[in-house]
């Protein structure tokens, strides 16, 4: 695991550079991101050309995280690189629950701490000592310095090793050409970065020249793989259309795999460019993303808006999370304050909220059965959005774990889940199986009337 004392330490840049450097050495690395973040795994994925996956103890539970590791091993990976989230011990509601440290503990992952040595020398050692002693075992095994000059590294390496007992395996110099701009949800997505390959080739080369990668690989420990055999995937029984373009790009790779394992064929389409839903669609999955940045283009595609509105009115099983939920509503305000018509399958106006709304993990409870939920059960979810709606729905009760905060959210029906909370289909609840079963039944009925 690559972890850090705080966000902004350069974990994603180092993780991408390390993944590429390992591949150059003949390894077959798999990439993972601790927590619910969608954007960092896009960078890993573009570096490797294969999906990066989230390891989230809240959304998946420890068994789900181990299943993700086991699946990577079955696909031929020989080393897993886990990028931590936020600060090493930062978890739910001011605790270490679901933190990078808890993930390292659950998986037995040796952790390399990434430090930015800005304006400090011996104090860095005090900070590292605090991190070492805060929880036992800390799983900290080495240090890497980021944004560091060679002369400063020569000064800090013996000092830090003497004071902390941890080896300093090298440094990454400041590389202005590798810096990635940010916006309201974090970094730009990997697909928006010009000269992506050249940027991370430079990072990988700098790590090769300035870090002891052989010693870093020697730190790796065997992953705790699940002992039970992999279940055979269900026969294909339905097709689920998944929106995939610049406006809709937030999906967990394990969620899509769970749908495939439940018997769904995935058919990607673009609400920005395609004229209508794929005709073979038995279900619809509209993930999160940035519809507010593409509101004018989405609105111009009247054929797609009409196709989706009519399909949902006809009972097409559909899941719409966050940005997808905003798209299903009547109108959406873009980042310039202009208001555009959207699909109109649901009432509501989406608009900028002036900051994060209901940010973080939540537990959703249903009072009645619906497409994904069953009465009385709780489902873990996550919210992260700067746009809000005047019609957020009231089909589920939500509560923030570890606090007394609660609210109503989402539109839920026999054939629909639409709301701001993001769900993970690779957790303990059989959400993928329920979605695929509903899509299969819908497809069977649709074909019977042809």
**Active site residue ranges:** 322
- In the numeric block, the tokens 């509903």 are attached to 438
Upstream peptide bond of 137 is cis (omega within 30 degrees of 0): yes
The CA distances from residue 50 to 28, 42, 45, 66, 101, in Å, are: 11, 10, 5, 19, 26
Q: N- to C-terminal Cα distance for the chain?
A: 53
The residues pairing with 53 across neighbouring beta strands, listed in sequence order, are 32
Please name which of 350, 300, 249 lies closest in space to residue 40, comparing C-alpha atoms: 249
Give backbone dihedrals phi and psi of 316, rounded to 5 degrees, phi first. Answer: -60, 120
b/e map of 165-193 (b: 16 or more CB within 10 Å)?
ebbbbbbbbebeebebeeeebebebbeeb
Which residues does 140 contact at the CB level (< 8 Å), separation at least 6? 111, 113, 128, 131, 132, 166
User: 428 with 61: CB under 8 angstroms?
Assistant: yes
User: How many residues are recorded in the chain?
Assistant: 450
Three-state DSSP state, 222: coil
User: 144 with 172: CB under 8 angstroms?
Assistant: yes
Distance CA 315, CA 137 (A): 52
Distance CA 97, CA 90 (A): 8
Please name which of 80, 87, 94, 96 lies closest in space to residue 128, comparing C-alpha atoms: 87
DSSP labels, 91-107: -GGGS-TT-HHHHHHHH
Give backbone dihedrals phi and psi of 88, rounded to 5 degrees, phi first. Answer: -55, -40
Q: Which two tokens stand for residue 265?
A: 């064929």
Distance CA 294, CA 296 (A): 6
Helix axes 253-261, 61-74, angle to 10 degrees: 80
Three-state DSSP state, 22: helix
Q: Which two tokens stand for residue 293?
A: 């940045």
How many other CB atoms are there within 10 angstroms of residue 7's CB atom?
A: 13
């Amino acid at each position: 695991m690559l972890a850090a004392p705080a966000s902004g330490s350069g974990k994603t840049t180092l993780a991408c550079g390390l993944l590429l450097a390992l591949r150059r050495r003949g390894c077959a690395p798999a990439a993972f991101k601790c927590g619910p973040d969608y954007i960092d795994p896009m960078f890993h994925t573009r570096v490797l050309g294969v999906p990066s996956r989230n390891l989230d103890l809240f959304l998946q539970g420890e068994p789900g995280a181990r299943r993700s590791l086991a699946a990577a091993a079955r696909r031929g990976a020989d080393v897993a690189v886990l990028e931590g989230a936020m600060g090493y011990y930062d978890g739910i509601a001011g605790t270490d629950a679901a933190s990078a440290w808890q993930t390292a503990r659950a998986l037995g992952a040796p952790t390399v701490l990434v430090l930015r040595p800005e304006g400090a020398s011996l104090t860095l050692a005090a900070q590292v000592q605090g991190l070492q002693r805060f929880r036992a075992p800390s799983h900290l095994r080495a240090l890497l310095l980021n944004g560091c000059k060679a002369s400063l590294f020569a000064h800090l390496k013996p000092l830090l090793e003497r004071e902390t007992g941890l080896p300093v395996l090298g440094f990454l110099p400041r590389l202005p050409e590798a810096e990635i701009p940010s916006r309201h949800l974090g970094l730009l997505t990997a697909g928006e970065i010009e000269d992506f390959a050249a940027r991370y080739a430079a990072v990988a080369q700098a790590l090769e020249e300035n870090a002891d990668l052989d010693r870093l690989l020697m730190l790796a420990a065997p992953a705790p793989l699940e002992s039970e055999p992999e279940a055979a995937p269900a026969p294909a029984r339905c097709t689920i259309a998944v929106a995939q373009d610049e406006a809709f790009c937030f999906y967990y790779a394990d969620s899509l795999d769970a749908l495939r394992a439940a018997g769904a064929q995935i058919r990607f389409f673009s609400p920005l460019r395609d004229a209508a839903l794929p005709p073979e669609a038995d279900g619809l999955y509209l993930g999160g993303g940035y519809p507010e940045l593409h509101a004018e283009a989405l609105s111009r595609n009247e054929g797609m808006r009409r196709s989706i509105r009519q399909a949902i009115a006809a009972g097409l099983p559909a899941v719409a999370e966050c940005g997808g939920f905003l798209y299903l509503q009547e109108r959406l305000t873009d980042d310039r304050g202009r208001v555009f018509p959207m699909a109109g399958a649901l009432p509501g106006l989406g608009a900028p909220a002036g900051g994060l709304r209901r940010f973080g993990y939540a537990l959703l409870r249903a009072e009645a059965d619906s497409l994904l939920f069953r009465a009385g059960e709780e489902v873990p979810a996550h919210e992260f959005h700067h746009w809000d709606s005047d019609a957020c729905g009231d089909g589920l009760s939500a509560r923030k774990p570890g606090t007394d905060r609660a609210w109503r959210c989402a539109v839920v029906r026999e054939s629909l889940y639409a709301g701001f909370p993001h769900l993970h289909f690779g957790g303990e609840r059989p959400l993928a199986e329920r979605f695929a079963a509903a899509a299969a039944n819908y497809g069977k009925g649709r074909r019977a009337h042809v």
